[in-house]
Chain A
C-alpha cells in the first residue's frame, strides 16, 4: 500500500453514507476559506473514501483517505469538518433491527427498483415533512394503497400542515403511539404493535419505514472545544423547513463556521476582512431569524366532515386566497396558511401574482393572476388550487393536481375529498391537463363545497397478488442463483441486497443498503469470496452464502448486544458527565457499524439519563471498517 503525505489547512470530509457530495454548505465554507488564503481540500464522493480522522494533541488531525487506485493519503489538517448524513432510527423496541424496518434511504432505493411489494399497508415511523412526503409518494405512485404515519416522540404532527393535507387526501392515516413489537408473519408481511392511550393496535404491514424526526438536532458541533474539529449534520432534512430553506440555512452556517477558521488559521488582507465582515454580519442576522423556529403549525379544525367556522373564516380572510372569484377564467388560491416561505410558487409565477414576505406570509395579487396554473405544477406539496366560477352559481370548477393512475376520464364522476380525505360529494371531471410534470384535473364541484373540497378520490387499485412470487413475475429477466445450495429465481442485474428483500430472505444487516460498503454490515459470500450485498449484482448461477442466524434484535446496539437497560445501569453506577466517558465504559457505538445504527438512540437514552450530549463527536479512528488487501 502506497501512502502519500499531505498538509492542508481545512479538510472537508464526507462521512459514511452521505449521499450528495459536496453539500451546498461545504461549497460555501470552502469558497470563503480559500478566499482568505487557506488551503482547503474536499475528500469524499465516488472513488475517494475517507477512512478516518485521528485528532492530534498538538491541534488539528490526521485524515486518512483512500483514493480510487487504493492509495492511502495521510493528510495533516489544522481544521476538520466531517459532514454526516442524518440517519434516524426510533428508540429500540422488540424486533426493530430486522428487515421489516428500513430507513428512508433504503425505502427510496427499493421504491426506485419498483419491485418490492408494498401492499397492503406501509407504516412510517415519524410525522415530519419527509415522512408525510414519502407516504404521499407511495400512495400517489400506487405502490401502496394505505400508509400509516406513527408519531411516537412528539405530541403533535411534526411536518407541515400542507404535507399532512396532501398525505391525508391520498388516504394516509396518522396515529399517535409507541411501537412496541415488530414481528414477521410471512416473507412479505410484518406485524407491528403500537401502544397508544387506548391500548395496543396491531397493524399488518408490508414494511415499516423509519423516517423520523426522533430528535431536534441539526447543524454543526465542535468537539473537543477549541480544537477546530467539527462534525456537521446536514440540515437538508430539517423537520420544520423546506428544502430551499435548509440549503440557505447551511449556507449561513458555513459562513459563520468559515469565520472561525479564518480567525484561527488565516491572516487575510484588510480588504477581504472588511468584505467578509459584511457577509458574516448578514449571515448571523439571517441565522438568528432562521434558527428561531416558525410558530406552531396551523391546523384546520373540523366540525364533523366540514371545516369549523373559525377555520373557514381563517381561510377566507387569508391573503393568499382570492377574496372573490372570477365568473370566467381561473384564479389561483394559495392556501399555505402556515409560514413556510419556500417561495417556489412565487418564483414560478410568470405574472408575479404571488408574493411571500419576510415573515413567510403568502399574498396573492388577484389582479395579476392569469390562472396559468404554473404554481400548481411547481408546488412540491400540491397546495395551490385553481378556482373558476361564481360563488352564487350552483357549481364552481376546481383544478387539482392528481397523480394516481388510472386517471379518470373526461365526463366521468369521481368522489370529492375534503382536506382530511373524506368523501363529501360526487363531482364531474371536466378536463384533463396531462402535458406538465404534474397531471391536473378540472372538476365540477357544488359551489357550497368550493372551500371544502381539495381532492379527488382515485379509482380503487386492482387487488394485488399476495404471493410475492407472482408479484415479481414479468418484472425483468429472472435468473437462477444458489442460496445455501437452494435454487432461487431472482431478477438479473439487480443488487444482491435488493434481491434478498424481494424474495423475503433479507437479513437485518441489509437494512442500511449504503451502496458503497461504508457501513460494512451486509457482508455475504459470493462464489466463495466475501463481498458486500449492496455492491454486488446478481448474475446467472451465482452461489450465495451467508450466516443465516440473524435474528431480529431488540437491542440498542445490535452489533455489540447492548440494551437500553445496560446503558441506564451504566449511567446509574458510573454517573459519567460526558458521552465520551460513557461510550468508553459502555462499549456502545464500538460495534461493526461504528454507531450508524445506534448512535442517535444512544444519545436519546443518555439525555433522558441526564447527560448532555449535544456537543459530542465521535472521532474514534476509523469511522468505518476498512479492508486492506
Chain B
C-alpha cells in the first residue's frame, strides 16, 4: 500500500498534536512522525508564563493580556476535544462553580507577586515594573517587609523578628492563568491517535532523507518506508531536532540558516521540586529576581494548599546544579522563607528558547514544501496560539 498524506508533521509534544487536530478538522490527511522513542519525552511545555522581562520596552499590556486566565482558556479550548476547566480562587473557596470534570485540565487563576531586596538593580527594575503596571491600570498593590513576606508562597514565621525583612519590597500584580500541561497534552494525544489511527502517529522514527516525492523514514525495526507528501512537511522545532534542522537548512536553504540562527536565544532554567512541611498558598506565583516559585499540583487546588513547591531558577552559567544554584536556593529558602531545612524531590534541567521571530522558515527542495515552525516550547497556551496562526497560514 502506498503511503500518501497531505501534511507530514515531525516533532514531539503538544504543538504537532494541536496542528494535526486542526488540519484534520479542515479535511487534510495528516501523519505524525516522532524521532523520540515516545511522546512528550522532551517535556518542553510550561504550565505558565515565567514573565522574564528582558527589557523595559516589553509590551506589558499585551504580555499580561495574553496570560489572563480567560485568554489562556480561549487559547486552549478550541482544539481540545474534552472539557477544560477554569477556576478562580473565589469559586474554589466557596466550593462552588461550574466544574464538572475533576480529571480535566484545569486553568487556575493566580496572582503574581514580584519581590526584590531593598537595594540593587532588581529593586530598580521592580519599581519600573510597578509604575508601568500602575499606568496600565492593573492596580498593583505595593507591599514592604512582613506584609509582603507573608504573602510569599511557603513563607514561614519561624524567628521572623530576627530575619530582618524590612528591606524587602514588592507588589502584588494581576491574576494570570496556568494550566495542567500533562492532562492537556495527554487528552489531546488520546484524541489525535484515535482520529488518525496508530499507524499515522509513529514514534521512534529515524528520518532518512527527503526529495520531491516525499520523505523516507525507518522505524527501529523493519525496512525503510517512503511517504508521499501532497502539500508540506512541517518540522515542529524541538531541542533534539535542532541539529538536524540546521543541517537541512545549510544544505537546502543557507539563507534561512542565518535567519534561524538569529531567531532564538537559549535560556537555561532549573526546575526544582521542593517539599514543604505545611501546605502552601496555591493562589500566588512569586517572582524573586531570577527565581519563580509557586505551589504545584494538578486539578483544583485543595483549600489548604499543596505541599509541593516548584522553583524555576534561571541559570547564569552554562552548567546545571552548580554551587550558585544551591547558594541561591539556600538563600531563598533559609534567609527569606525562613525554613530550617528543605527537601529536594526532583530537579529537571530545562532549556527554554526565546524566539525573536514567530514566522515559520519556509523553503522548497525539489518541489517539496518544508516549514520549520519555531516557538514550540514555553507556556502551553502560547504554543496553542502559535500553532493556530501557523496552520491558518499553510
Contact = CB atoms under 8 A, between A and B. Distances in A.
Contacts of B41: 578, 580-581, 584
A257 B74 CA distance: 53
A583 to B, nearest CB: 10
Contact of B321 (A54, A574, A585): A54
Nearest to B277: A530
B139 interface: no
Contacts of B322: 3, 5, 74
A56 to B, nearest CB: 8
Interface string B182-200: 1000100110010000100
A577 B203 contact: yes
A584 B43 CA distance: 9
A2 B189 CA distance: 44
Of A5, A57, A581, chain B has the most CB atoms within 10 Å of the CB of A581
Contacts of B198: 575
A209 B340 CA distance: 38
Interface in A570-619: 570, 573-578, 580-581, 584-585, 587, 590
Interface in A331-374: none
Interface stretch (A150-158, A308-316, A411-419, A621-629): A621-629
Contacts of A580: 37-38, 41
B37 A54 contact: no
Contacts of A112: none
Contacts of A628: 326, 329-330, 333, 341-344
Given A54-B349, A574-B189, A625 B321 contact: no
B186 A585 contact: yes
B320 interface: yes
Interface size class of B (residues with CB under 8 A): 35 or more
A57 B193 CA distance: 29
Contacts of B186: 570, 573-574, 585
A421 interface: no
A1 interface: yes
Contact of A621 (B37, B190, B329, B348): B348
Contacts of A573: 186, 190
A72 interface: yes
B256 interface: no
B176 interface: no
B342 A627 contact: yes
Contacts of B333: 628
A376 interface: no
Contacts of B327: 1
A620 B189 CA distance: 23
B167 to A, nearest CB: 24
Contacts of B58: none
B323 interface: yes
Of B186, B193, B239, chain A has the most CB atoms within 10 Å of the CB of B186
Contacts of A581: 37-41
B345 interface: yes
A626 B343 contact: yes
Contact of A72 (B38, B326, B345): B326
B347 A52 contact: yes
A627 to B, nearest CB: 5
B33 to A, nearest CB: 13
Contacts of A622: 344-347
B341 A627 contact: yes
Given A3-B326, A54-B349, A580-B41, A574 B341 contact: no
Nearest to B40: A584
A64 interface: yes
Nearest to B185: A585
Contacts of B305: none
Nearest to A578: B38
A54 B43 CA distance: 15
Given A628-B341, A629-B340, A574 B320 contact: no
Interface string A1-20: 11101000000000000000
A62 interface: yes
B105 to A, nearest CB: 12
Nearest to B323: A3
A3 B321 CA distance: 10
Of A1, A5, A64, A585, chain B has the most CB atoms within 10 Å of the CB of A585
A77 to B, nearest CB: 14
Chain A to chain B: the 4 pairs with minimum beta-carbon distance, closest first:
A581-B38, A3-B323, A578-B38, A629-B341
Given A1-B327, A1-B330, A585-B186, 6 more contacts: A72-B326, A578-B37, A578-B38, A581-B37, A625-B343, A628-B326
Interface of A: 1-3, 5, 52, 54, 56-57, 62, 64, 72, 74, 224, 570, 573-578, 580-581, 584-585, 587, 590, 620-622, 625-629
20 contacts: A54-B320, A62-B320, A62-B321, A74-B321, A224-B37, A574-B39, A576-B38, A576-B39, A578-B41, A581-B37, A581-B40, A584-B40, A584-B182, A585-B182, A621-B347, A622-B344, A622-B346, A626-B344, A627-B344, A628-B341
